[in-house]
Copies of this chain bind each other. A is one copy, B any other.
Amino acid sequence: MKLKHLLCLGILFSVEQVLAQKQLTKYVDPYIGSAAHGHVFVGANVPFGAVQLGPTNVFEGWDWCSGYNYASNTIIGFAHTHLSGTGIGDLNDILVMPATGPSQLDYVSTFSHDKEVVKAGYYSVILDKYKIKAELTTSERVGFHRYTFEKGAKNPHVMLDLNAGVGWDSPVETYVKQVDATTIVGYRLSKGWANDQRLYFAVKLSQPLNSLSLSDSTSFSSNGKELKGKRVKAVLNFKSINQDILKLKVGLSPVSYENAMTNLIAEIPAWDFDKVARLADQKWEKELSKVKIEADEETKKTFYTSLYHTMIAPSVFDDVNGDYRGTDKKVYHKPGFTNYTTFSLWDTYRAYHPLFTFLHQDKVSDVVNSFLAIYKQQGKLPVWHLMGNETNTMIGYHAVPIIVDAYLKGFKGFDANLAYEAMKHSAMQKVEGIEYAQEIKYIPSDKIIESVAKGLEYAIDDWCIAQMAKAMNKTEDYNYFSKRAKLYSEYFDKQSQFMRGKLQDGNWRTPFNPIASKHREDDYTEGNAWQYTWLVPQDPEGLISLFGGDAPFTKKLDTLFSMSSAMDAGSSPDISGLVGQYAQGNEPNHHIPYLYAYAGQPWKTADLVRQITDSLYTNKPDGLCGNEDLGQMSSWYVFSAMGFYPVNPANGAYVFGSPIINDAVISLPGNKKFHIKVNANSKENKYIQKILLNGKPYTKSYLRHKDLVAGGELTLFMGNKPSATWGVNPADRPRSVAIE
């Protein structure tokens, strides 16, 4: 007993020590990206946690996809799930609102940001209307609420609202049951962007409730301890609040409310709110400290908030005992991996998952295993997966680059043969124009909508399959998919030098306007010809030769970045963050600034990276120039700030740009560290002059993943003029092959 006691004290002491240092979480500002179109989640969560517990505003439209936007001053309650950065709204399930006075069917209070505290793992606000201080923190699967009421508050109560949800979301069946005076359980089955979402919960109260009022329509009745219905709401009434503080723990589960209770008891067994908040902070601190940078304070704020934003999704989608509910709605026990959900793959395959392969090496195989489980359950790899549902949002089969990148980078924790089968299945579907690629043909724009974007994205995925086929010695497949990987060239109109819609008869679609874009109605996907012409990250050399060489290629790129940003009316709202016609706000653009490196003009990449990080990533609430898209926008920044970017999503190479930080230490498994030293970095000194890797001259204009994860020291020497030699020599430029 004594030893255990001392041990506890010891642990607490070290917790306090960590908090005292408080190096990195203090740089996280969850407001960044919460205004305008960033759509990030604001509230309390832990890295990759199933619970995202935060305020839900009155819905005001697209900019409320997460449920919260900085422009609002209303709160209707605190929901346990929120999306972060999507362009479609959903979730905001299990809404809880503390209140006083007469009970209602719906609640809304105003609040002001000066009475709000937003931190990694902690959120608090004063609800003006009810004079209640609400504080929120979480573990992975449990939300923890602490409500401080005014002394002697009248009719204190808590609304548990199973009707509320954001966007298309609407409840299908909801259920509440009072188990005893301090325990409520239930579930919410809903239909929305996620077509069949099932969420179970268990609530523990810090004091017994006085009565429970249940409603399924417009009025409450207080007879009965349980209610099943389409839109059940429960009001938990208290005679008075002990010492004015009421605490609630809410466990979630995709499986059952029994499991939700198991999660609750396992993760937050006691009632020490401050301790749980400290633990949440520590979990963030641990993750953030995987990259320790030196930079000015403003840059640190932007950098660590970006890093924080890369750890909200995917989120764990299982219980502490390993149970999870598959896409087939069956419950799986002990699957042997941690199941994840919320995969925005069209966005995240580009840089988010490459970043994941060195920052979260322990989770890479779990993500691939989650993909493969989905493949077995729904018959195809995930496209855009949300809470155990395939939403089929966006285009491509972009689970492929993620799997191939993992495989080529040496992750072995999954069944490579099954993975290969699953990828090949995706590529052999007879839908969405993929059938044309199968015959080594372009997709006719008069047959298939968004034909150019689809053709280009498929070619990327097919290049990846080819690389895995090669690595698995499947030569025939390698040859076949390599041909498909070259199909991008079919869309290139040599005369106009644009990727264009081609009709079945072989003619280019007319009229053609390279700045025109009609959302979901033309040959591109949230973009125009200026933006899509560059979407060949798997083969920039091939693209350069289509243009006729480096000179015409870079001339066209120069125009892209310097021309007018004017666009036709009716353009997609996703085209934002413009530099010329380049749109940092939308993902198919993200690699374009780095293409100069392939043409031997890396200083232009440097110019652009500095311009974009300076002007389009700020540490203000409107600091993101487009949807965060579950970490992709922030991954672009994290990579670029460190000085490189994964143009090809699966070739194990990161193309140099211009580092923003002055120093960075990336912590790797096995106590390895990769140390990036930047010599003489400044606003003016933005051009890399030379590089040393582990003390030896390094002339390539790209960094190999294998060198990074091996640990070591990279020194970048900066100067205020483009280097005449570094990165210029064709032999040193990035290459369109899987780097050995």
Contacts and interface: CB of A to CB of B under 8 A. Distances in A.
A279 interface: no
Interface in A655-673: none
A580 to B, nearest CB: 22
Interface string A567-597: 0011001000000000000000000000000
Interface stretch (A53-61, A324-332, A454-462, A607-615): A53-61
A573 B89 CA distance: 36
Interface string A101-112: 010111110100
A34 to B, nearest CB: 15
A211 interface: yes
A223 interface: yes
Most buried by B among A105, A129, A518, A569: A105
Interface string A63-85: 11000000011101000000000
Interface residues of A, number: 37
Contacts of A36: 102
Contact of A60 (B72, B107, B518, B569): B107
Given A72-B108, A110-B73, A223 B569 contact: yes
Contacts of A222: 569-570
A104 B218 contact: no
Interface in A724-740: none
Contact of A105 (B62, B72, B102, B218): B62
Number of copies: 2
Contacts of A58: 58, 74, 76, 106, 108
A262 to B, nearest CB: 34
A77 to B, nearest CB: 11
A250 B72 CA distance: 29
A568 to B, nearest CB: 10
Interface in A221-271: 221-223
A219 interface: yes
Contacts of A360: none
A512 interface: no
Given A218-B168, A569-B211, A106 B61 contact: yes
Nearest to A72: B108
Contacts of A59: 105-106
Interface in A329-352: none
Contacts of A88: 218
Nearest to A211: B569
A60 B108 contact: yes
Interface string A508-540: 000000000011000000000000000000000
Contact of A518 (B63, B105, B129, B223): B223
Given A73-B110, A108-B72, A62 B218 contact: yes
A433 interface: no
Contacts of A108: 58, 60, 72, 74
Contact of A61 (B89, B104, B211, B221): B104
A167 interface: yes
Contacts of A167: 218
A55 to B, nearest CB: 14
A573 B106 contact: no
A421 to B, nearest CB: 36
A58 B221 CA distance: 23
Interface centre among A59, A74, A76, A221 (most CB of B within 10 A): A221
A60 B218 contact: no
Given A167-B218, A518-B223, A105 B570 contact: no
A110 B107 contact: no
Nearest to A110: B110
A225 to B, nearest CB: 13
A223 to B, nearest CB: 5
A68 B105 CA distance: 14
Interface string A202-221: 00000000010000011111
Contacts of A61: 104-107, 218
A12 B108 CA distance: 46
A327 B143 CA distance: 51
A305 B218 CA distance: 28
Nearest to A63: B104
Contact of A519 (B63, B211, B219): B219
Contacts of A569: 211, 222-223
A573 B219 contact: yes
B570 A60 contact: no
Contacts of A72: 108
A88 B217 CA distance: 10
A73 to B, nearest CB: 6
B219 A105 contact: no
A63 B107 CA distance: 11
A63 B106 CA distance: 10
Nearest to A64: B106
A164 to B, nearest CB: 11
10 contacts: A36-B102, A58-B76, A58-B108, A61-B106, A62-B219, A63-B102, A74-B110, A89-B218, A220-B573, A221-B570
Given A221-B570, A222-B569, 11 more contacts: A58-B58, A58-B108, A61-B107, A62-B104, A62-B105, A62-B218, A74-B108, A168-B218, A211-B569, A219-B519, A222-B570
Interface of A: 36, 58-64, 72-74, 76, 88-89, 102, 104-108, 110, 129, 167-168, 211, 217-223, 518-519, 569-570, 573
Can you list the 7 inter-chain pairs with the closest CB atoms, starting with the nearest? A61-B105, A61-B104, A58-B108, A60-B106, A223-B570, A61-B106, A60-B104
